[in-house]
Amino acid sequence: MGAAPRGVVLTCGRQSPAVLPIQAESMTGPGWETLNLFASDFQGKGFLADTGGSEAATLELSLTSPGPYYIWVRTYRRVEDPYAALLSVNGQTSTFGVGYEGQPTWIWERLGPFTIDTPTAVISIARPYDGPSDKFMALFFDTLVVTSLPSFTPGTDEAIEILLDKTVTLEAAAHDGSVTAQLSPGYYECWITLTDGNWLISPIGEIGVRSAPVQFQVRGEDP
């Protein structure tokens, strides 16, 4: 008989206000489309892909304080091709997306620092190419993270403050249920861990089996 979970732990952490995650698929521009095929392990609803001949995809950003900001970009390249992507913020431009590790995989790159001294800034990504189109292959853009923290690294918990850690005991086998939580405005990441005493062990040896995280934003009251 296999182990059946007896408990569920809901854990929610709030992202530091100095770390602003953006789903690339919320950016818009001619020649870009949102996909969720051809690559898995993406964040949010999918990723942005340039289908060839695209113009800039943009997004307006509101920041609470001026200063130098780094922008992390998560991209997926299916084959090696010579065409880089460009990210621009307030007229400052960086090149990214040329790395290829011999097989298709998601790659994080840190760009910047960019000086942002206006309360709102426009981020744009573009993928101009002026060479043979048979060498061109769409690049996938999953997530951008705007941060003022030089030490921040995506995928680590260092910028997440755990605010909720709630254990729910299951009386019997359950396929669904609900937990209510009061969360103040901010960006959150939540996950659940299924437990059965010390019997359920994750593939990496942790007690309990942890779900993939869900990311969301709790908006404040409009002023």
Chain residues binding Ca ion by CB under 5 A are 23, 43-44, 47, 142
Q: Please state the closest distance from residue 36 (CB atom) to Ca ion, in A.
A: 9
**Is 59 buried (19+), middle (13-18) or exposed (0-12) by CB count in 10 A?**
middle
Spatial distance between the Cα atoms of 192 and 194, rounded to a whole number of angstroms:
7
- Name the token pair of 179: 């937990």
Report in angstroms how near the CB of residue 215 gets to Ca ion at its nearest. 10
Tell me the two tokens of residue 215.
Answer: 């990311």
Q: Least Å distance between CB 16 and Ca ion?
A: 20
Between 23 and 193, name the residue whose CB sits nearer to Ca ion: 23
Beta strands at 32-35 and 47-50: parallel, antiparallel or unpaired: antiparallel
Classify burial at 6, counting beta carbons within 10 Å of its beta carbon; exposed 0-12, middle 13-18, buried 19 or more: middle
Closest CB to Ca ion among residues 37, 204:
37
CB of 60 to Ca ion, least distance (A): 18
CA-based nearest residue to 36, from 26, 27, 45: 45
Nearest residue to Ca ion, scored by beta-carbon proximity? 44
Pick from 39, 7, 43: nearest CA to 24: 43
Residue with smaller CB distance to Ca ion, 142 or 189 = 142
Q: Min. distance of Cβ 140 from Ca ion in angstroms?
A: 9
Q: Which is nearer to Ca ion, 44 or 154 (CB)?
A: 44
Q: How far apart are CA 137 and CA 156, in angstroms?
A: 30
Integer Cα distance of 39 and 105 in angstroms: 9
> With respect to Ca ion, which residue has the nearer C-beta, 6 or 78?
78
User: CA 99 to CA 87: how far, in whole Å?
Assistant: 15
* Closest CB to Ca ion among residues 25, 81: 25
Q: Min. distance of Cβ 161 from Ca ion in angstroms?
A: 23
Task: For residue 27, give the nearest of 149, 127, 159 by alpha carbon.
Answer: 127
